[in-house]
Amino acid sequence: MEAEPKPETLLKNKAQTSYPVYTRQEVAKHKTVESGIWVTYKSDVYDITNFVELHPGGDKILLAAGGALEPFWSMYAVHKQKHVFEILEEYKIGELRPEDVQETCDVTDPYRKEPLRHPALKVNSLKPFNAEPPVQILSENYLTPNEIFFIRNHLPVPEVDPKQFRLNIEGEGLKSVQLTLRDIQTKFPKHTITATLQCAGNRRSEMNGVRQVKGLNWGLAAIGNAKWAGAKLSDVLKYAGLPEDIDAKHVQFEGLDKDITGSPYGASIPIRKALAKDGDVLLAYEMNNEPLPRDHGFPLRVIVPGVVGARNVKWLNKIVVSKEESKSHWQVNDYKGFSPSVDWDNVDFNSAPAIQELPIQSVITAPSNDEHLNSDMNEITVKGYAWSGGGREVIRVDVSLDGGQTWRVADLSEVKPNEGQAWAWKLWQLTVPLPKDQKNMEIICKAVDNQYNVQPDTVAPIWNLRGVLNNSWSRVKVTIKSK
Ligand code: HEM
Ligand SMILES: Nc1nc2c(c(=O)[nH]1)N[C@H]1C(S)=C(S)[C@@H](COP(=O)(O)O)O[C@H]1N2
Ligand SMILES: [Mo]
């Protein structure tokens, strides 16, 4: 019996057939669903009409309609991966006339002015730059050093001259106000908080164990804790004349980092959080007693404690008080949670709210998965971090050394926050005798916050196509070996 051809061979065969040849002008006529949406990559022409709805990056794909993908893909280098080229290959319909091939390939790299980064960071993507520290280092410091604090950029890092910098504020019932960096540092009281910032995609890689998700392959360290100082957003909004009886429901933020169309990174938060007396939302200019590093938003960023990283807009350019949420791609078509039943062919981003406060989280940072422990050791120390969104304090971390059959309570770092303002993580540890009679151990941790929210025990029931909000029990398997 003849074996079924593998998909790779099918692709190869497909590539060998001869294709019609098109000019750039002919391709440029295909920009709409009616005419078909065509794009080019190098010397090939693709009809992607049927892919547009399935595109994980949303409508942005239409920017390339009728033209070349290269300038956009040099901006969003997430595309330079095998699985993306495989998708593209399915839509090939033709080839470009040889004299038309060269034209678009000469792109100036928008990433040529990126800052230098600490070599210990594990790079998830270079352009845009995304990286996390080794998890063993993460739990060594209550305040994460700036140099190894995870970096999550969606676009090139903007170059900002602090003297030229202006923050623009506008919206419902406000005066339009422009503030210099000095204004922000001198006109308003300096407020300092210690707050943990966590990306919605922290621990995404564990979700791939259930089913492949789309996104950066974050490990356990897309999270960090820092001391932030700046002006209170509520003070600045009052200065701009924010009325008492305000209809607006949202505060929108725009960054200075822009995509190829000039559209900036953006996000919004509920105005309730922005104005709450104990909300502590900052326009921060310092991180751990230093000016903000370029990668973390120099010269000014929003810190929304208790709220998902994505709303903590860096390189802040503009604040808009509005009845509406931000229209940014990252507010509307990303950073939302879905049922495990939802996939890319039936997802409706309008059906879910934007993530704001994050759920209870805890992670084992030591020992690491697959570590070999020496059976001569008498004790083992398990370490980790624990944090909950919305200012909810972590009250307990339970640790199991036998896959969840029995539990012990870990020691928490003693920092007593005010009620509702537990913005910072707690580091925890537990030292126990090493079991002598065992060869393998599954260590688990799970945390509880002061509203008695708990973590789910496995990933499968919270799996979602974008791989966000993974707060399942943290598990580490170790072997105990004699020397
Ligand atoms: C036929 C052409 C295209 C294909 C096959 C394609 C495919 C994909 C795939 C598979 C992803 C998910 C990648 C991952 O996270 O592993 C993605 C994400 C994305 N794409 Fe595309 N894409 C195309 C064109 C474009 C164009 C022209 C733009 C911009 C102008 C664009 C913007 C984006 C953005 C913004 C994301 C999300 C990146 C993030 O996670 O922040 N795409 N695309
Ligand atoms: N202007 C701007 N702000 C941004 C982003 C961005 O790409 N551009 N990324 C967001 C996301 S998704 C996260 S998780 C945090 C990461 O902050 P950090 O890089 O300082 O760790 O910044 C947020 N603010
Ligand atoms: Mo994020």
Beta bridge partners of 380: 432
Beta bridge partners of 366: 383
The pLDDT tens digits of the residues spanning 297-306 come to 999 999 999 9
Share of the chain above pLDDT 70, in %: 95
152 is catalytic: yes
The pLDDT tens digits of the residues spanning 190-210 come to 999 999 999 999 999 999 999
Query: Which protein residues touch ligand 2 with a CB less than 6 Å away?
Result: 149-155, 197, 199, 255, 257, 265, 296, 309-310, 312-315
Contact 273, 307 (CB under 8 A): yes
Share of the chain above pLDDT 90, in %: 82
Q: Which atom of ligand 2 is nearest to the CA of 302?
A: 24
Per-residue pLDDT at 63: 87
Q: Could you tell me which residue, 398 or 110, shows the higher pLDDT?
A: 398
Burial class (CB in 10 A: 0-12, 13-18, 19+), 421: middle
Alpha-carbon separation of residue 295 from 80, 153, 290 (angstroms): 23, 8, 13
Beta bridge partners of 480: 373
Per-residue pLDDT at 60: 87
Q: Is the preceding peptide bond at 20 cis, omega within 30 degrees of 0?
A: no
- Distance (Å) from CA 146 to ligand 2 centroid: 14
Task: Tell me the C-alpha distance between 359 and 364, whole Å.
Answer: 17
- Distance (Å) from CA 425 to ligand 2 centroid: 19
The pLDDT of residue 443 is above 80: yes
The pLDDT tens digits of the residues spanning 376-385 come to 889 999 999 9
CA dihedral 119, 121, 124, 129 (to 10 degrees): -70
Per-residue pLDDT at 107: 59
Q: Which atom of ligand 1 is nearest to the CA of 69?
A: 27
Among 335, 348, 329, smallest CA distance to 62 is for 329
The pLDDT of residue 179 is above 90: yes
335 is catalytic: yes
Burial class (CB in 10 A: 0-12, 13-18, 19+), 133: buried
Provide the pLDDT confidence category of residue 104 given band limits of 50, 70 and 90: low
- Least confident stretch, 96-100, 115-119, 124-128, 220-224: 96-100
Q: Please work out, in degrees rounded to the nearest 5, the angle formed at the alpha carbon of residue 113 by the alpha carbons of 118 and 261.
A: 125
3-class secondary-structure state, position 441: strand
Mean pLDDT of the chain: 93
Strands (E), 326-401: 361-366, 372-374, 379-387, 394-400
The pLDDT tens digits of the residues spanning 117-132 come to 998 999 999 999 999 9
The pLDDT tens digits of the residues spanning 319-354 come to 999 999 999 999 999 999 999 999 999 999 999 999
83 is catalytic: no
Stretch 144-149: mean pLDDT, rounded? 97
The pLDDT of residue 7 is above 60: no
- Distance (Å) from CA 168 to ligand 3 centroid: 24
Residue of 22, 239, 335, 385 with catalytic role: 335
- Distance (Å) from CA 77 to ligand 1 centroid: 9
> Each residue of 52-90: b (16+ CB within 10 Å) or e?
eeeeeeeebbbbbbbbbbbbbbbbbebbeeeeeeeebee
Instruction: Annotate 462-482 with DSSP letters as a single string.
Output: G--TT-----PPEEEEEEEE-
Among 59, 37, 32, 64, smallest CA distance to 48 is for 37
Q: Where are the alpha helices (DSSP H) in 61-180?
A: 70-75, 82-89, 98-101, 135-138
The pLDDT of residue 291 is above 90: yes
The pLDDT of residue 3 is above 90: no
Task: Tell me the C-alpha distance between 179 and 450, whole Å.
Answer: 39
Contact 461, 340 (CB under 8 A): yes
Beta bridge partners of 449: 394
The pLDDT tens digits of the residues spanning 238-276 come to 999 998 888 999 999 999 999 988 999 999 999 999 999
Per-residue pLDDT at 1: 36
- Distance (Å) from CA 152 to ligand 3 centroid: 6
Stretch 384-392: mean pLDDT, rounded? 98
Per-residue pLDDT at 141: 95
Q: Residue 172: which residues within 8 A CB-CB, separation 6 or more?
A: 246, 247, 248, 321, 322, 323
30 is catalytic: no
Q: Which domains does the chain have, with CATH numbers?
A: 7-105 (3.10.120.10), 122-339 (3.90.420.10), 361-481 (2.60.40.650)
Provide the pLDDT confidence category of residue 4 given band limits of 50, 70 and 90: very low
Q: Could you tell me which residue, 437 or 392, shows the higher pLDDT?
A: 392
Residue of 46, 191, 199, 203 with catalytic role: 199
Q: Which atom of ligand 2 is nearest to the CA of 128?
A: 7
Among 24, 15, 16, 19, smallest CA distance to 99 is for 24
445 is catalytic: no
Task: Tell me the C-alpha distance between 302 and 232, whole Å.
Answer: 10
Instruction: Annotate 69-80 with DSSP letters as a single string.
Output: SHHHHHH-GGG-
Beta bridge partners of 37: 31
Alpha-carbon separation of residue 360 from 99, 148, 419, 420 (angstroms): 58, 23, 16, 14
Q: For tokens 């697959």, what's the residue?
A: 370
Strands (E), 208-328: 223-232, 250-258, 264-270, 282-287, 290-291, 301-303, 316-322
- Least confident stretch, 66-70, 145-149, 280-284, 403-407: 66-70
